[in-house]
C-alpha cells in the first residue's frame, strides 16, 4: 500500500484549461491505481467531486468504477473517502478482477 498524504498536507494545484482533462489520457508512467470496494462504497460522490481528472465513473447516481484512461493515481479519492472504500495499489499488482470493468488502455 502506498503511503498517502494526510488531509491538509496536499498542496492546491491547477490545470491549464477547464475541461481539458477529457483530452489528456494517462500515459504509461502511472505507478499506483485506486481499487474501489463497491460493497463498502456508500455512493456519497465525494471522490467524484474531488478527482482532478474526472476519472470516477458514475451510472444512475452510483459509483461503478474508475476510468483508467484518465486516472493519474494521485490518491486523492482514497484519502478523502469517508468510509475507506478505496485502496491505492501498485498497478503492477492489480488482479484481473480488479481491472474488470475498466476500459482497456491503448498503452498496455
Ligand atoms: S487516484 Fe486521483 S486521478 Fe485516480 S480516480 Fe483517484 S482522485 Fe482521480
Ligand atoms: S468517496 Fe468512497 S463512499 Fe463516496 S462514492 Fe467514492 S468510493 Fe464511494
Are residues 55 and 86 in contact, defined by beta-carbon separation less than 8 angstroms? no
Domains of the chain: 26-99 (3.30.70.20)
Q: How far is the CA of 45 from the centre of ligand 2 (A)?
A: 6
Q: How far is the CA of 64 from the centre of ligand 2 (A)?
A: 10
Residue 95 confidence (pLDDT) above 90: no
| 91 pocket-lining for ligand 1 (C-beta < 6 Å) | no
Ligand 2: residue of 40, 41, 50 to mutate (most ligand atoms within 8 A of CB) is: 41
| 64 pocket-lining for ligand 2 (C-beta < 6 Å) | no
Residue 1 confidence (pLDDT) above 80: no
Are residues 79 and 7 in contact, defined by beta-carbon separation less than 8 angstroms? yes
- Which pTM value belongs to this model? 0.78
Percent of the chain with pLDDT over 70: 83
* More confident position, 73 or 68: 73
Q: How far is the CA of 83 from the centre of ligand 1 (A)?
A: 16
pLDDT digits (tens, 9 = 90+) for 12-39: 777 667 767 677 777 778 899 999 999 9
Mean pLDDT for the chain?
A: 83
- Residue 70 class from Cβ within 10 Å (0-12 exposed, 13-18 middle, 19+ buried)? buried
Amino acid at each position: 500500500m502506498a503511503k498517502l498524504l494526510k488531509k491538509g498536507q496536499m498542496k492546491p494545484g491547477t490545470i491549464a484549461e477547464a475541461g481539458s482533462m477529457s483530452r489528456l489520457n494517462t500515459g504509461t508512467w502511472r505507478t499506483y491505481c485506486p481499487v474501489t470496494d463497491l460493497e463498502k462504497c456508500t455512493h456519497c460522490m465525494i471522490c467524484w467531486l474531488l478527482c482532478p481528472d474526472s476519472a470516477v465513473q458514475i451510472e444512475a447516481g452510483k459509483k461503478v468504477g474508475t476510468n483508467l484512461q484518465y486516472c493519474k493515481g494521485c490518491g486523492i479519492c482514497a484519502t478523502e473517502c469517508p468510509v475507506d472504500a478505496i485502496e491505492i495499489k501498485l498497478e503492477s499488482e492489480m488482479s484481473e478482477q480488479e481491472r474488470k470493468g475498466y476500459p482497456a488502455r491503448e498503452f498496455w
